[in-house]
Structure 1
Amino acid sequence: MPKAPKQKVSKKVVHPNSRKASQISRHEAHRDRVQKNKSKAAKGMQQLRTVLEWFHERCTAESYSQDDVCDLIEEYISRFDDELEEIRLASTLKGRQVRPHASREDALRMVREKELALLTTGGFDAPDLTDAKNLALFRAWDQKVDHIPTFKMRKFRRTQAPEPE
Structure 2
Amino acid sequence: MPKSLEKTRKKIAKKRVNITALHENSRDSQRLRRAQMRDDRLARVASARKKGDQPLIVRAAFFREVVRENDGNPLELPAIHSHIETFVHQHDEEFSALKKERRAGRPASTREDILRTKIAVDEKEYENGFYLPDLTDADNVVFLQRWDGDWSYLSTLKWVWISKAGIVKPAKFPPKGQS
Query: What is the TM-score normalised by the length of structure 1?
Result: 0.66
Q: Secondary structure at the match of 2:92?
A: helix
Q: CA deviation at 1:76?
A: 0.3
Is 1:65 equivalent to 2:76 in the alignment?
yes
1:52 to 32, 50, 60: 60
User: What is the aligned partner in structure 2 of residue 159 from structure 1?
Assistant: 165
2:96 to 79, 82, 85: 85
Q: Secondary structure at the match of 1:64?
A: coil
Q: CA deviation at 1:63?
A: 1.9
Query: What is the TM-score normalised by the length of structure 2?
Result: 0.62
Instruction: State the AA in 1 paired with 2:124.
Output: A
- For structure 2, the residue ranges without an aligned partner over 5 or more in a row are 1-9, 17-25, 28-37, 167-179
Q: Secondary structure at the match of 1:46?
A: helix
Is 1:133 equivalent to 2:118 in the alignment?
no
1:105 to 103, 108, 112: 112
User: Is the Cα–Cα contact under 8 Å of residues 46 and 145 in structure 1 kept in the other structure?
Assistant: no
Q: CA deviation at 1:84?
A: 1.2
Q: CA deviation at 1:110?
A: 1.1
Q: What is the distance in 2 between the residues matched to 1:50 and 1:90? A: 28
Q: CA deviation at 1:67?
A: 2.6
Kindly indicate whether structure 1 or structure 2 has the higher relative contact order, using CA contacts under 8 Å at least 6 residues apart: 1
Q: Secondary structure at the match of 1:125?
A: strand
- For structure 1, the residue ranges without an aligned partner over 5 or more in a row are 15-29, 161-165
User: What is the aligned partner in structure 2 of residue 26 from structure 1?
Assistant: none
User: Is the Cα–Cα contact under 8 Å of residues 63 and 132 in structure 1 kept in the other structure?
Assistant: yes
Q: CA deviation at 1:142?
A: 2.2
% identity of equivalent residues? 24
Q: CA deviation at 1:36?
A: 6.3
Instruction: State the AA in 2 paired with 1:63.
Output: P
User: Is the Cα–Cα contact under 8 Å of residues 138 and 151 in structure 1 kept in the other structure?
Assistant: yes
Q: CA deviation at 1:38?
A: 4.5
Instruction: State the AA in 1 paired with 2:112.
Output: E
Q: Secondary structure at the match of 1:79?
A: coil
User: What is the aligned partner in structure 1 of residue 126 from structure 2?
Assistant: 119
- 1:66-105 CA deviation, whole Å, 9 max, x = no partner? 23222211110101011011112212xx4x4214x53222
